[in-house]
């Protein structure tokens, strides 16, 4: 299960957005309380495939979101101590940009850029403490005897320490391969992918729409987004609450009046999914149309294991057709007639939107 944790100051709209995305009935109420909910990843391709096959079951990809109540002004240690943050694959920071005198801001004024940077500083400070403690341990171990593996780890942690001391989040280092695998065990917060959700004022939505560059400029977040290696989505939680209470056609018309083609919540869920580095392949048929989540660059045999470990072990070939080809031809039979259904081996790298039938030994 892909996991993302929501963070943000009180009065930012974080819990409202969590409830709307997950249809959770209860939000956390007291400090340290945790709520977990599942969001279905919006995917028009799965809708089209479902209409084509009319299956008994439709199963979308999902993301697990966690909402945690923290202190009024989060401190580094408070963040480190919350397992829901450390165990998350990504962080979603809800930043208040709406103006409402009846809802007090803990800092006394609405300033999205200040709040975004303050939270970033907390993540960096938390990670700096982890890096310093790890370096102390490594140095003690190295005094007992040289180790190429420990020396390599020391070099990597020192590199991270220098970045953190300079105020740079670890996600900006774009670590990969063995370095990324090593750091993953430390559960460093600033290394996690970060999505900034800008909770706009209702009056700003018509002007900004889904244009994140305009939203960032209007809220003073342009510089922060440029240096923080962070993606962003803009929405208005108050409007999203209104949309959630409307039927399908009425909701579409309401969005159209605002110049939008989809809700902000859908954009948050889909962007989180993309931020986690995942893509979807599909299996189709009369019984079920399903979107399966895999990391980018996953070979076919490992992708088969998402369905069942027996299919992975007995993998023979993957029967693959691209989504666009199937939709253009209208059926798998016609795709075969035109040579658009391919047989791929276990090393084939699955592409986003592939429709796959795995041949395997029983």
Predicted confidence (pLDDT) per residue in 146-175, tens digit: 888 899 999 999 999 999 999 999 999 988
Banded model confidence at residue 81, pLDDT cuts 50, 70, 90: low
Tens of pLDDT, residues 223-271: 999 887 889 999 999 999 899 888 888 988 988 888 888 899 999 999 9
Which sequence spans correspond to the domains of the chain? 3-275, 297-360
pLDDT band at residue 307 using 50, 70 and 90 as cut-offs:
very high
What band does 48 get if pLDDT is binned at 50, 70 and 90?
A: very high
Query: Mean pLDDT across the stretch 84-100?
Result: 90
Position 321 pLDDT exceeds 60: yes
Please give the pLDDT value at position 284.
97
Q: What CATH architecture is 297-360? A: Roll (3.10)
Spatial distance between the Cα atoms of 282 and 228, rounded to a whole number of angstroms: 34
Instruction: Give residue-wise pLDDT tens across range 254-265.
Output: 888 888 888 999
3-275: which CATH topology?
Rossmann fold (3.40.50)
Share of the chain above pLDDT 70, in %: 93
Higher-scoring residue by pLDDT: 167, 76:
167
Q: Please tell me the predicted confidence (pLDDT) of residue 29.
A: 58
Q: What is the pLDDT of residue 70?
A: 60
């Amino acid at each position: 299960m892909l996991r993302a944790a929501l963070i943000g100051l009180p009065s930012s709209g974080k819990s409202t957005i969590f409830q709307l995305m997950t249809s959770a009935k209860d939000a956390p109420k007291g400090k340290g309380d945790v709520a977990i909910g599942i969001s279905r990843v919006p995917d028009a391709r799965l809708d089209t495939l479902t209409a084509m096959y009319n299956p008994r079951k439709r199963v979308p990809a999902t993301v697990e979101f966690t909402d945690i109540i923290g202190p009024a002004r989060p401190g580094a240690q408070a963040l480190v101590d919350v397992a829901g943050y450390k165990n998350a694959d990504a962080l979603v920071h809800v930043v208040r940009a709406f103006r409402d005198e009846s809802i007090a801001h803990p800092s006394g004024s609405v300033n999205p850029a200040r709040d975004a940077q303050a939270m970033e500083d907390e993540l960096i400070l938390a990670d700096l403490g982890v890096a310093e403690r790890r370096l102390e341990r490594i140095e003690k171990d190295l005094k007992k005897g040289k180790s190429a593996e420990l020396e390599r780890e020391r070099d990597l942690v020192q590199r991270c320490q220098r970045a953190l001391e300079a105020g740079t989040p670890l996600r900006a280092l774009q670590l990969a391969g063995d370095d990324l695998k090593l750091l993953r065990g430390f559960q460093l917060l600033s290394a996690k992918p970060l999505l900034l959700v800008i909770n706009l004022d209702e009056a700003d939505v018509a002007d900004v729409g889904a244009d994140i560059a305009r939203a960032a400029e209007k809220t003073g977040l342009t510089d922060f987004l440029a240096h923080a290696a962070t993606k962003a989505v803009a929405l208005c939680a108050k409007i999203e609450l209104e949309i959630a209470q409307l039927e399908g056609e009425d909701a579409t018309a309401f969005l159209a009046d605002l110049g939008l083609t989809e809700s902000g919540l859908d954009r948050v869920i889909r962007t989180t999914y993309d931020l986690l580095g995942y893509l979807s392949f599909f299996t189709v048929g009369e019984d079920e149309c399903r979107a399966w989540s895999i990391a980018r660059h996953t070979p076919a045999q490992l992708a088969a294991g998402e369905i069942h470990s027996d299919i992975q072990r007995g993998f023979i070939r993957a029967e693959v057709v691209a989504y666009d080809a199937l939709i253009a031809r209208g059926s798998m039979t016609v795709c075969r007639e035109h040579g658009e259904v391919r047989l791929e081996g276990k090393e084939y790298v699955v592409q986003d939107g592939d429709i796959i039938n795995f041949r395997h030994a029983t």
